[in-house]
Every structure is written in C-alpha cells, then in structure tokens.
Amino acid sequence: VTVTRGQTPQAITFAAFPAKTYGDGNFSAGATAGSGQAVTYASDNTAVATIDNTGSIAIKGAGTANITASQAGNANYLAATPVSRALTIAKAILTYTADTTSRNYGAANPTFTGTVSGFKNGDTQASATTGTMAFKSTANATSPLFDASLQRQRYPIYGEGLSTANYTFAQATGNDKALGLKRITVTYTFRQETHAYNGKDNPSFDGFSATFTGMANGQTSDQLIQYSYATTATAASGVGVYPIQLTNINRTVAGYNYDFVAAPSNATALTITKANLTFTAQAATKKYGEANPTFTGTITGFVNNQMVANLSGTPVYSTTATTASGVGSYPITLSGISSSNYTITAASANSTAFSINKNTLTYVADPVSRAFNNANPPLTGTLTGFKGTDNLESATTGTLTFTTTVTPSTPVGTYEITGSGLSSANYDFAQSAANNSAFSIYLSTNGNLSNVALSAGTLSPSFSAGTNNYTATVTTGTPSITVTPTLSDINAKVTVNSNEVVSGNPSVGIPLIIGTNVINVNVTSQSGTITNPYSITVTRLPSDDAEVTSITSSTGTMIPLPGYDYAYIDTVANNVTSVDISTVKHEANATLSVYINNGEVPLTSGTPFNMPLNAGSNVVNVKVIAQDGVTTKYNNVHVVRRYSANNQLKSLAVAGKSISPAFSSAQKNYTLTVDNLTSSIDVVAAIA
C-alpha cells in the first residue's frame, strides 16, 4: 500500500533586538525555526550590520538595518514565513577633552588644545571624522577672575569642528572649568623724590605720586584700588635712601584681577640728599718765592645748630701753589673733613683766593767814583732778591744795564746810578737806596802816571805807577830824546824838565850829552795837593862807530877794492908822484890817523894828507878809533902808480966834467975827454 504524507508547516521564532551602539561586539540574532532546521539571515543595510548564516551580527555603522530570518523547509516541512526584525545601531559617543590651561587676565585667549576620544573598531580621527577640531571658550579678555561675591571663576573650553556618521560628540566633564585666569601684575612706581637734609619733616612731594602700569582693558588705578602711601623716613632721618610704600589698600572687584607689586625703585624712591655746606676761603696773598702763609676759611650752611665740630676729621686748608709757583691766582682748598649729611662745596671765589704777587728785585749799583772832568767809568752792579733757584738768566729777560746822568762836566758831588733793562713775570724792580749816591765826583788826588814812554831807549825797570826812578840807555846816535808821560788822571798836570806836557803826547826834544842826562818828570794832582816827582836818567853811550863815510883821492878815481872790506884802490899815471887822500869819518867823535913814512900821523876828517908815490904799489893804512876808544877799524889805501914807458933820461952829467954835446933827452951819444991821469968818473943820470 503507497502512503503519501503532506509537509508540516513551521514558524520562525525571532525576538526583537536589544539596543545596540556602534562599536558593540558581534552578537547572535537568536532566530529559530519550528522544524529545528537552520535559519538563514539577510541584512538589508550592510553598512549598518552584517550577519552570517550562523546568525552572528557584526555592527558596521550607526543606523537601522532589517535582519530577516528565513527557513526554506525540506521534505518534511514547509518553508517558514520569513520574519524581519529592525536592528537600530546607536551612534557611539566621541568626547572632546580640553587641555586644562590658564591665561593672564585681560589677555586674548590662547590657542586651546585638546583631544577627541571614544573611537571604536580601530577608527581614528582621520579615518572616522571630517572637519577640523578646535577648542574654544566663552571667556574673553574682560572676563574677571572673581564674581561679585568674590568667588573665583573658571571658564569652559569646548571642542567642536568635527562631524561623523557613527558618533555623536560630547564634552568631557572637566571642560566646563578647563580655563583658569591668572592675576596680572600691576607695578606701581613712585616718582623719585628728594629733599636735602635739614632736620625737618618730609615735604608733601605733591602726594608721593605713583604711576600704575600693566593694567588691562583700559582700566585705571582708580577703578581698581584705593590706597594711601607713606615712607619710613622721619624728620630725624639722615642722608640716605628710603622706601615709599602703599598703605591701606582697598581693592574693587576689578582690582582682584591684579597683583599690585611695588617697583624695585620704590625701595629707594625717597632720597634725602646731603645739605650743602659752603667753604669760603679767607683771601690770602704772598710774594713770589716766599713760603705759603697759613690758610683759613669759614664753613656755612649748617642745620640743626650743628657746627664744624659735628663733622668728621680736622679741616686742612691747602693750595696747589708752592714756593716756586709763579705770580698769579691759585685755589685754596679744604680737605680732611667729611660728613654723611653734608656736601662741602667750595665757593667760586676760592679758585682765585690765593694771590701770589710779584716779589721785588733790587738794582744795586756798584759804587764808583771819578775825578772831576774825567770820562765816566763803566757802570756795573748786581740784581738782588732772587728767590729759590732763580737767577738773572732764568728769571729775567733783557740786559742788565746801569746808567747815570753824570757827564764829564758834572760838578763835584754824589749822583744816582740807575739800574734798568730787565723784565720778569715774577718780580718788580726797585732801586737800592744806595743807588742815589752811588756815583761820586771828586777833585783827584791822583798824582801818578799810568805810563811813561821814551822816543829812544827802554825804561828800566818797566814802568810801574809805584816806581819813581828809572834809567835808560841810548846810543850815541841819539842826540835828543822825547818823553811821553801818560797821566793816571787826565785832569792832573805833568811837566817834563819844567815844561808842561799834554798827557799822552811827547815832550819837546831834550838834547842828550854823551854820558848821564837826568830828566825830571813832575805830576801835580787835580786837587793840587799832591805832587809826584819821577826821575829818568838817560845815559847816552859813546859811539862805537869806527866807520868812514868815504875815502877819496885827489885823482877822483879811488874805489873800494872789490872783494875786500875796508880796502880802497886807486891807480894813477906814472907821472903822478903823489896824491892827496881825504878821509871823512862816519861818526864825528871818532879819531883818524894814518901810518905813513914809518910813523902815525893824526888826520882831520875831510882834510887831505899827501901820499908820495913810487912807481908800482903804494900802501898806507887809515886808522879809525871810535868814540868809545875801543872800537878800531883799519882802512887799507892802495895807490898804484903805473910804471913809466919813457926810457929817456931827463938829465945826464959827469961829476967835474962836461959832456959833449950838452945833454938833451933826444941825444943818445955824448963824448967826454979826460986826461990820462983820470982813472974813473962819476956819471950821474936821472931817468925821465
């Protein structure tokens, strides 16, 4: 028997989905079929969820997806009616977390930072969001630190700027107080005030004016704070620096946005300066080159009945000038004292309070005197009064000169000598009182000679004013002499052998005899009270001149014999049987003689003597004896009588007989007849 059984119907049991959020894990759909057969699933929005045949749902995004469960049936069961359930995936939450920060009151908000968190399924900001994340705050520059009840305020920082399909955004819990405000510093600076030490209360200083700096939003100190001010300095405070301080400070609400800080300079904003003491030097003077005097002065300007004794140290007055400092003005300075409460200032006049005046150099003329009517002597003198190492060369310029108004004719008396010619930066010049009578004129008592000169000879001894007797020797050829006396005083008078002579001029010629000649020179002083005799004994020596002026013969041809001294020669004809020889002596007092005919015959100068001549050489010697009787010279006189060329006789005779013819020089032959008894005759013949 064939049995056909029909399919059993079945139903799907599929509960509604619980709430799910993006990021939750996979979960099972949980649908079952009445047949116990496996259910198949399908998602109509896989962007939201996917499901596999095991029923495991994977969340893919926020949104809604319909999950349908189906069972197709089999031989035993009919296909089940599909059942759909809506699956809603809520968006996950991303949280903006602001970085906590702070800023100064009144400042613009900084760039806030923070993070976004809460990403699921490996999402990141870059992969899961669009836009630009930013953090902002409702606070602005005017937001206060405190509210009206002085409660401290904090301000939110919130994130924004991002968008995403799978997330919603939330602010972290702390974001509402993530921004804190800080007080800013207002510096109050007191105007620097000063007053001089005077032992009195502080002056008002126009309210110790303070300047507030650093406030924000255009606020002023009056909107922020009420206050008073004070200083620690009192009327008794000495020189120094003192603080000026704010006191009794009351802030407004706005004032709590600030810290009020004193400027460092406030600690020294009040300066009590030294009072001024004035040192006034007592004017002082000295003369150049002298030691400085003791300086003094006064100090004025003390307060609180104080005086020099209240200062430290001992006053010392000094100057830059030294003993050697030149003429001019110099300062007087004060040292050695100090004070914490006073400044000691020199009076302007102190810079020239010490004057060095010129000292005095004195022209001191050397006293001079001269006789009336004489030329002035050279005037000399010295300059006295130099100080230190000064001298004429170093301290003066110009030429030291002494002058007088005295002339040679100025009468006897005393007169002034004046020094001049110099200048100096450090000295004035004065005349010594003695200069008024430094020049004396008198009638001279000088009866001396300053020199004696002779026209011939040499004084012995050499002239000296203290020697009155002299000798001199002159040659015999000095028949006269002049004496030139020179007066020591031109106004004296001098005579030579009683004849007045002008000083420095020769006397008239004084004849000299051979031997001793005494010459008297007498000087009478200008005053007439002194006479001074000088004696000069001049010895005129006898002559030693034994020379002849000439030796001549009557023939006129006598000449000196060449090559010989004191030799003369003359040549005469044969018919000259004698010549007259004339000798002229050179010195009148010499004596002449001639050796002739074997004897010495005296001669007279210029008077000829006859010299017989033989044919041939004839020699005589003329002797000259000088006046001194010692000096003798011999002069050889040589006369050559030529031999005769006449060979004739001038006579021929026979004694007692007569020759025939009678003798004639032209007759050469003669005859003579004698008797037989005559054995000899005497013939006398004379040559021509």
Which residues, other chains included, contact 497 with Cβ-Cβ below 8 Å and sequence gap of 6+? 507, 510, 519, 520
Assigned token pair, 586: 């050179």
CB 410 within 8 A of CB 441: yes
The pLDDT-based confidence of 206 (bands split at 50, 70, 90) is low
The pLDDT-based confidence of 210 (bands split at 50, 70, 90) is confident
323 Ramachandran zone, left/alpha/beta (phi>0; psi -120 to 50): alpha
> What mean pLDDT comes out for the span 111-122?
96
Q: Report the C-alpha gap between 434 and 415 in whole angstroms.
A: 10
Q: Give the pLDDT confidence score for residue 5 in this predicted structure.
A: 59
Residue 309 dihedral angles phi and psi, to the nearest 5° = -65, -20
Q: Give the pLDDT confidence score for residue 370 in this predicted structure.
A: 87
More confident residue, 557 or 602: 602
Given a cut of 60, is residue 571 above it in pLDDT?
Answer: yes
Q: Give the pLDDT confidence score for residue 1 in this predicted structure.
A: 43
Q: Which residues of 521-545 are buried (b: 16+ CB within 10 A; e: fewer)?
A: bbbbbbbeeeebebebebebbbbbb
> What mean pLDDT comes out for the span 405-419?
95
Q: Which of 518, 463, 454 is nearest to 481 (CA)?
A: 454
CB 39 within 8 A of CB 32: yes
Q: Give the pLDDT confidence score for residue 390 in this predicted structure.
A: 95
- Is 0.75 topped by the overall pTM? no
Domains present along the chain, CATH in parentheses: 12-90 (2.60.40.1080), 96-181 (no CATH), 184-273 (3.10.430), 275-357 (no CATH), 359-442 (no CATH), 449-540 (2.60.40), 548-641 (2.60.40.10), 647-687 (no CATH)
Given a cut of 60, is residue 581 above it in pLDDT?
Answer: yes
> What mean pLDDT comes out for the span 460-472?
94
Q: Report the C-alpha gap between 224 and 251 in whole angstroms.
A: 6
Exposed/middle/buried for 558, CB within 10 Å: 0-12, 13-18, 19+? Answer: buried
Q: Give the pLDDT confidence score for residue 4 in this predicted structure.
A: 55
> What mean pLDDT comes out for the span 101-113?
95
CB 444 within 8 A of CB 492: yes
Q: Which of 567, 588, 571 is nearest to 579 (CA)?
A: 571
Share of the chain above pLDDT 70, in %: 98
Q: Report the C-alpha gap between 595 and 599 in whole angstroms.
A: 5
Measured in whole angstroms, the distance separating CA 125 from the mean position of its chain's CA atoms is 89
Q: Give the pLDDT confidence score for residue 220 in this predicted structure.
A: 93
Given a cut of 90, is residue 643 above it in pLDDT?
Answer: no
Q: Give the pLDDT confidence score for residue 235 in this predicted structure.
A: 75
DSSP string, 28-88: E---EETT-PPPEEEES-TTTEEE-TT-EEEE-SSEEEEEEEE----SSBPPPPPEEEEEE
Q: Give all strands of the β-sheet with 275-281 in edge-to-edge order.
A: 297-300, 275-281, 342-346
Taking all residues of the chain, what is their mean pLDDT, rounded to a whole number? 92
Q: Report the C-alpha gap between 545 and 272 in whole angstroms.
A: 126
* Gap between the terminal Cα atoms of the chain: 267
| Predicted confidence (pLDDT) per residue in 265-292, tens digit | 999 989 888 889 999 999 999 999 999 9
The pLDDT-based confidence of 3 (bands split at 50, 70, 90) is very low
Give, for 223, the enclosing helix (H) or strand (E). Answer: helix 221-224
Given a cut of 80, is residue 127 above it in pLDDT?
Answer: yes
Q: Report the C-alpha gap between 382 and 363 in whole angstroms.
A: 6
The pLDDT-based confidence of 84 (bands split at 50, 70, 90) is very high
> What mean pLDDT comes out for the span 362-369?
96
Exposed/middle/buried for 463, CB within 10 Å: 0-12, 13-18, 19+? Answer: middle
Least confident of 248-252, 355-359, 362-366: 248-252
DSSP string, 465-505: TT--EEEEEE-TT--EE-EEEEESSTTSEEEETTEEE-TTS
The pLDDT-based confidence of 204 (bands split at 50, 70, 90) is low
Q: Report the C-alpha gap between 419 and 363 in whole angstroms.
A: 5
The pLDDT-based confidence of 564 (bands split at 50, 70, 90) is confident
Given a cut of 70, is residue 207 above it in pLDDT?
Answer: no
Q: Where are the beta strands (DSSP E) in 78-224?
A: 83-90, 92-98, 101-104, 114-117, 130-137, 154-155, 157-163, 167-171, 179-182, 184-190, 193-196, 210-213
Q: Give the pLDDT confidence score for residue 205 in this predicted structure.
A: 58
